[in-house]
Structure 1
Amino acid sequence: MAKDMSSRTNEEPLCPICIETLKVPRTLTCLHTFCQHCLSKYIQESDCSLVGKPSFNCPVCCRPTYPPSAESKQPKEWAGLFPQNTALLVLLGEEKAKVDFLCDPCSSEEQSIIATGFCVECREYLCESCINAHKKIKIAKGHRILTIDEISKSPDIIMNLNVSSSCTIHTDKEIEYFCKDHKTVCCVKCSIIDQRSCSELVDLKTNAKSALEEDPRDVFEILRRIEDFLLSHMQTSKSNIKRLETQTNEIVSTIKNAREQVNKLFDVIENYVEEKGRQLYKEESIKLNDLNQECQSQLTAVQGSRQLLDAILRLGNETHVFLTARQIQTQLTNYREQIVKKYTAIESKEITLTLHESLKTLMSLAADQLATVQTEIKVDTLCLDGIFRTPTLDSVIETKCPNSGSTPSYRGSAWLPYGSILLCDYTNSKCCLYSPEHTHLTDYILKDTWDACFVGGDEVAVTMTQAKKIQFLTCTAPITPTRSFTTRYYCDGVAALSEDKLVISGYNDSSNQNYYWSIVNTQGKEEYYHEIDQKGETVTYLAVNESKTRFYMSCCDINTVYCFGLNGQLHFVYTNEQLKGPTGIGVDRDNYVYVTGFASNNIHQLLPDGNLIQIITIGIPNKPLTLTFDKSGTRFLLTSESDMSHKCHIYVLK
């Protein structure tokens, strides 16, 4: 894999904080690397008890970071506890200069002593004095001490220094497996205790490549595109600064020419305009330079991630590649989110001068009334192509009802873990089961069927909206009912929080007819009820994020998407004039939200916090209805209203 990857250039690795060449690089658990001095200063200025124990947020991705063995150390010593990033400086800077590494024990005592060796077992750089002391400790006598030159010439050792292989739960055990059910790595102890009932455990020592959810080369390419995007953003900002400077000079020249005709009065005006213009230029250029600084910091972090991945791909084994790529995929989500929040638009500001139309009352008017200097904002939206994926057609399940009856109207769907699909045909009052190969297997008659969700095993929960009922079905051929319970009000949407807990939504039948959602267990006991102060008698759909901490609710007739926490906290409300009739809603593996616009014929792709990423129109069928992601979160099922040929199209997109 590494041989197929072409490296860009051996750019000088930079620190995202000081934007200078890394000095004594220390790498956090999220794989972001900083100068030890910069990191130490940042930690000391941070709130170091974010969750009740020693921690701080990464300066780049803001993930909580827990320094190793920090309980007995002061925050100013934490930076020295993180591993030195050998891979970036030795592999990417191997032809530029000899790299000096500091002794880790001395660094923790705030002493900068150059290391002469490295203990493989303790994974620490040691100076000559510490090496001698190390050899005198009984338990460490057999440890292998390598020289710095030996370290630099051994790719396997370099990779081991920068890829954490210890289990986060059982720190004395090495990571050996990847659980596809829970999408997490684990040790042999985890596999026996916590993952014993999981169906897919991949042995990383023998088959790490099969556990990768995405080709690292694709991740590398996206990182490169993000890097190019940020560079383009910075270049545009720099051009804006130059244009602002030119416009400011032009304004000053204009007012000086006018001054020749209005003498003393224009002395006042000139002073005012020049001062105001310079002030605005300074303020706006500072803002743009600050934005560029922030953008440069983000760019440096992206470059660092790409450089590290490139190094791992060239010199690491499959386990190293998997562990590094998996961590960088988490960074990738953060990079994308930061781009949507901060860099999708550039304020192109203009500094203009307005002269008063009449000169009759010049002497009675103040200078700032005769001439005004201000910025005018023009927003240029930058293209996000290649940074976020746009869904493409994978396959078509069917185009018409396989059996006799009216044209089907698939209002709900559930994607089972092994690839089978259950579709809820509201018009013909039945549930249709399809094989992973999209072959029709069987039907089950069920009146008022609406939405469905996978619960566990072979079981699916189906809402019967008018009957105010949840019916559970075992989705094998034939489909068999298992149990059911009634709901308090009309129920449309349903999503599973766990194997024994659901969230349902709809509207009540009281006098106000407000939308509602509630959390119920699979026996029908209501654990939480929440009413939305919006009237509605039409469709609602639900989707839950991967961590099961929040869910998203689409309300068709008010063109609104809500995001709630399980305790009723409203995280955001999304509306857009280009989203009409929101119905189907789903969440992909990156926790990005997709919602169909039934009346606007599009799909809106959102960040987890409700910010719009893009509106997808190409390849979307007319009047898209339901949207359901598969277990991997990489493909989704999309149904639509019947067309002029009375056929109901069902698409699988990826």
Structure 2
Amino acid sequence: MEKDMSSRTNEEPLCPICIETLKVPRTLTCLHTFCQHCLSKYIQESDCSLVGKPSFNCPVCCRPTYPPSAESKQPKEWASLFPQNTALLVLLGEQKANVDSLCDPCSSEEHSIIATGFCVECREYLCESCINSHKRIKIAKGHRILTIDEISKSPDIIMNLNVSSSCTIHTDKEIEYFCKDHKTVCCVKCSIIDHRSCSELVDLKTDAKSALEEDPRDVIEMLRRIEEFLMNHMQTNKSNIKRLETQTNEIVSTIKNAREQVNKLFDVIENYVQEKGRQLYKEESIKLNDFNQECQSQLTAVQGSRQSLDAILRLGNETHVFLTARQIKTQLTNYREQIMKKYSAIESKEITLTLHDSLKTLMSLAADQLATVQTKLNVDMLSCDGIFRTPTLDSVMETKCGISGSTPWYTGSVWLSNGSILLINYMNNKCCLYSPENTHLADYTLLNPWDVCFVGGDEVAVTTTNAKKIQFLTCTATITPTRSFTTRYYCDGIAAVSENRLVISGYNDSGNQNYYWSILTTQGKEEYYHEIDQKGESFTYLAVNESKSRLYMSCYYINTVYCFGLDGQVHFVYTNEQLKGPTGIGVDRDNYVYVAGCALNNIHQLLPDGNLIQIITIGIPKLPWSLNFNKRGNRFFPYQWR
């Protein structure tokens, strides 16, 4: 941890979970690699039945991941089922004399046995004993087993071993095809069960090159830019940590100086109070002592007069008594006058201390009121230009309304498998078909059509919101209606989650008027219904990601975008002061999400987790309403409102 972060990132592959050098690296089907221990701990803390069978979401990209042959294993054992990233082991210098190459079957049983070979077909490291057992199994007799020395001497073999060729759904089958419609690889079983109606299924053994939609070198360049961006980001954060340390030291120094100043002030106050108090005591005690001396003199005189009169009464004659009594009586009058004048009241002196209000306030305040230490957030938006794909309009399609004097309002659009485009013209009650060259082919009249989605083959499904109906159309060079069914409530947005399942959205008009979305079969049977605790008649649009695991829903009047799992779980809620009147929503092949902000004339580009990448304002039509992506080429088409 003491190494320089930038140099370490360049030299050592790090685990995205623990941010430490990879140990026993295991690679998922999405090609993200983690320490086996970190991955195992993450899996055990995850919901391992997200889609009804053993699975978990990748910690990095959140894609559903199905462990190979996990049916008979506990989640704590799944991490060991994924192949080791042997290429990284070589990079780490660990793929030498059996270092960290443990036998996978033995490791799953918590036995640490050093591997001596690697089965190419099973993608497992094997010890000598397991190699012998492997060769005795009938189904594995033809498997190719490489020695650790062979792997170490051949980087090409190592790189090839790092690519998983097993189907994630049918683990006993090899990947043979790539479906361009669904952007996914599949085995023979998958091609028959899930992709029999897809328009383009590429045989990877004979034509893998045609399946590539981008030059891998471009992808590498994008990864390099992201890597550079993140490294700069980390370096900035490292500088921030140093700055925070400096600021903390300055704060400690400031409060120490403040304490010294306050201590000096209290020393001055204390010295002043002590000196003044002693001075007042001295002055007042002298006065009181003088007064006591006067009292004592008076007391002595009174006592003398009393004693003289007592003696005369006992020893003197009547004449002496008379004269003495008369004299003392005169003195008594003087004593009475003196008492009335000087001694009729007793003064009680006090020395008091009065503190200034500011000092009282200071002493009454708590420490956190006198001094506050807190963080202040300053946000500097970083430019992501050149890192993420920014869609641009590469062509402009001119459309004309067939009704004289009427302006079209395209509320929905869809790309068909042959490259044609179907536009939904709500204002003129038309479904308009255009060729890949933007030539108008056909129209179909439908009352209040709103949104549309591709179902499969040449078929689309259109929502007719006011009629509460889903209309299916076959689009070739013409538009032909096929079937339809009604919905319980008003329906706006629509998207396909499989060949025979749709998801629609709108608002519940039965009383509470909450927004909702529901999953239905293409025959109209409702399988799942979900309400959002937000009310109001509003335009809503839907989109699903490439793996059909997440649903995105925009709600116009509440300026909000929701992301749900198909089980109703809320993954995120996106709002932004620059997002007003969200309408069309789409997902590209990288799973970036795009939302048309009609009211402020922009488009918001989001990461799959809902974090904002950028707000696009250049190169889009005025008041963008509907948008979608061409599955083949990732072409992005927003359509202008009216």
1:639 matched to 2:610? The reply is: no
Please give the alpha-carbon distance, in whole angstroms, between the structure 2 residues aligned to 1:44 and 1:446.
Answer: 51
1:238 matched to 2:233? The reply is: no
1:376 matched to 2:376? The reply is: yes
- Structure 2 portions without partners, runs of 5+: 1-7, 268-356
Moved more, 543-552 or 127-136: 127-136
Aligned to 2:310: none
1:557 matched to 2:557? The reply is: yes
CA contact (8 A) 1:520 1:527 kept: yes
Shift, 1:430, TM fit: 2.4
Shift, 1:168, TM fit: 3.5
Q: Cα–Cα, structure 1 residues 584 and 119, in superposed 2: closer, same or farther, change >3 Å? A: closer
1:150 matched to 2:150? The reply is: yes
Shift, 1:426, TM fit: 3.1
Shift, 1:58, TM fit: 6.0
Please give the alpha-carbon distance, in whole angstroms, between the structure 2 residues aligned to 1:54 and 1:500.
Answer: 24
CA contact (8 A) 2:44 2:75 kept: no
Q: Cα–Cα, structure 1 residues 403 and 152, in superposed 2: closer, same or farther, change >3 Å? A: farther
Shift, 1:558, TM fit: 3.2
Please give the alpha-carbon distance, in whole angstroms, between the structure 1 residues aligned to 2:80 and 2:185.
Answer: 27
Q: Which secondary structure state, in structure 1, belongs to the residue aligned with residue 388 of structure 2?
A: coil
Q: Percent identity?
A: 82
Please give the alpha-carbon distance, in whole angstroms, between the structure 1 residues aligned to 2:444 and 2:501.
Answer: 24
CA contact (8 A) 1:417 1:630 kept: no
Aligned to 1:594: 594
Shift, 1:208, TM fit: 1.1
Shift, 1:263, TM fit: 1.8
Pairing of 1:293-442 with structure 2 (within 5 A)? 361-398=361-398, 400-401=400-401, 404-442=404-442
1:102 matched to 2:101? The reply is: yes
Q: Cα–Cα, structure 1 residues 79 and 494, in superposed 2: closer, same or farther, change >3 Å? A: closer
1:443 matched to 2:443? The reply is: yes
Per-residue Cα deviation, 1:223-278 (whole angstroms, up to 9, x for no partner): 222322322222222222222222222233333433443327889xxxxxxxxxxx
Moved more, 119-128 or 411-420: 119-128
Aligned to 2:175: 175
Pairing of 1:491-502 with structure 2 (within 5 A)? 491-502=491-502
Pairing of 1:10-21 with structure 2 (within 5 A)? 11-16=11-16, 19-21=19-21
Aligned to 2:164: 164
CA contact (8 A) 1:165 1:174 kept: yes
1:184 matched to 2:184? The reply is: yes
Please give the alpha-carbon distance, in whole angstroms, between the structure 1 residues aligned to 2:133 and 2:512.
Answer: 78
Per-residue Cα deviation, 1:385-427 (whole angstroms, up to 9, x for no partner): 3443221122111164478542322222222121111112234
Q: Which secondary structure state, in structure 1, belongs to the residue aligned with residue 372 of structure 2?
A: strand
Please give the alpha-carbon distance, in whole angstroms, between the structure 2 residues aligned to 1:550 and 1:74.
Answer: 26
Please give the alpha-carbon distance, in whole angstroms, between the structure 1 residues aligned to 2:20 and 2:488.
Answer: 62
Aligned to 1:463: 463
Moved more, 238-247 or 404-413: 404-413
Shift, 1:601, TM fit: 0.2
CA contact (8 A) 1:44 1:76 kept: no
Aligned to 1:50: 48
Please give the alpha-carbon distance, in whole angstroms, between the structure 2 residues aligned to 1:526 and 1:100.
Answer: 56
CA contact (8 A) 1:414 1:628 kept: yes
CA contact (8 A) 1:258 1:266 kept: no
CA contact (8 A) 2:592 2:605 kept: yes
Shift, 1:486, TM fit: 4.8
Please give the alpha-carbon distance, in whole angstroms, between the structure 1 residues aligned to 2:75 and 2:450.
Answer: 56
Shift, 1:623, TM fit: 0.8
Q: 1 or 2 for the larger relative contact order (CA 8 Å, sep ≥6)?
A: 1
Shift, 1:574, TM fit: 3.3
Moved more, 536-545 or 422-431: 536-545
Please give the alpha-carbon distance, in whole angstroms, between the structure 2 residues aligned to 1:232 and 1:360.
Answer: 52
Aligned to 1:206: 206
Please give the alpha-carbon distance, in whole angstroms, between the structure 2 residues aligned to 1:266 and 1:45.
Answer: 61
Q: Match for 1:417: what amino acid?
A: S
Shift, 1:536, TM fit: 3.7
TM-score scaled by structure 2? 0.70
Per-residue Cα deviation, 1:31-90 (whole angstroms, up to 9, x for no partner): 444555x459x5499459834998777665666766666788888877665544322233
Shift, 1:634, TM fit: 1.8
Shift, 1:108, TM fit: 5.3
Per-residue Cα deviation, 1:450-503 (whole angstroms, up to 9, x for no partner): 333333332333334444544433323332333444555554333344555544
Q: Cα–Cα, structure 1 residues 235 and 415, in superposed 2: closer, same or farther, change >3 Å? A: same
Q: Cα–Cα, structure 1 residues 251 and 230, in superposed 2: closer, same or farther, change >3 Å? A: same
Aligned to 1:478: 478
Q: Which secondary structure state, in structure 2, belongs to the residue aligned with residue 379 of structure 1?
A: coil
Please give the alpha-carbon distance, in whole angstroms, between the structure 2 residues aligned to 1:528 and 1:119.
Answer: 45
Please give the alpha-carbon distance, in whole angstroms, between the structure 2 residues aligned to 1:131 and 1:529.
Answer: 53
Q: Cα–Cα, structure 1 residues 205 and 257, in superposed 2: closer, same or farther, change >3 Å? A: same
RMSD: 4.3
Please give the alpha-carbon distance, in whole angstroms, between the structure 2 residues aligned to 1:266 and 1:230.
Answer: 53
Per-residue Cα deviation, 1:561-597 (whole angstroms, up to 9, x for no partner): 3445556665554332211122222232344332211
Please give the alpha-carbon distance, in whole angstroms, between the structure 2 residues aligned to 1:188 and 1:182.
Answer: 15
Please give the alpha-carbon distance, in whole angstroms, between the structure 2 residues aligned to 1:437 and 1:118.
Answer: 53
Shift, 1:600, TM fit: 0.7
TM-score scaled by structure 1? 0.69
Aligned to 2:250: 250
Q: Which secondary structure state, in structure 2, belongs to the residue aligned with residue 206 of structure 1?
A: helix
Moved more, 124-133 or 222-231: 124-133
Please give the alpha-carbon distance, in whole angstroms, between the structure 1 residues aligned to 2:568 and 2:258.
Answer: 63
- Structure 1 portions without partners, runs of 5+: 1-7, 268-356, 643-654
The total of aligned residue pairs comes to 543
Q: Which secondary structure state, in structure 1, belongs to the residue aligned with residue 492 of structure 2?
A: strand
Q: Which secondary structure state, in structure 1, belongs to the residue aligned with residue 243 of structure 2?
A: helix
Please give the alpha-carbon distance, in whole angstroms, between the structure 1 residues aligned to 2:75 and 2:489.
Answer: 54
Moved more, 535-544 or 514-523: 514-523
CA contact (8 A) 1:515 1:535 kept: yes
CA contact (8 A) 1:471 1:484 kept: yes
Q: Cα–Cα, structure 1 residues 538 and 633, in superposed 2: closer, same or farther, change >3 Å? A: farther
CA contact (8 A) 1:47 1:56 kept: no
Q: Cα–Cα, structure 1 residues 386 and 54, in superposed 2: closer, same or farther, change >3 Å? A: same
CA contact (8 A) 2:561 2:574 kept: yes
Bigger Rg, structure 1 or 2: 2
Aligned to 2:616: 616
CA contact (8 A) 2:431 2:444 kept: yes
Q: Which secondary structure state, in structure 2, belongs to the residue aligned with residue 372 of structure 1?
A: coil
Q: Cα–Cα, structure 1 residues 10 and 636, in superposed 2: closer, same or farther, change >3 Å? A: closer
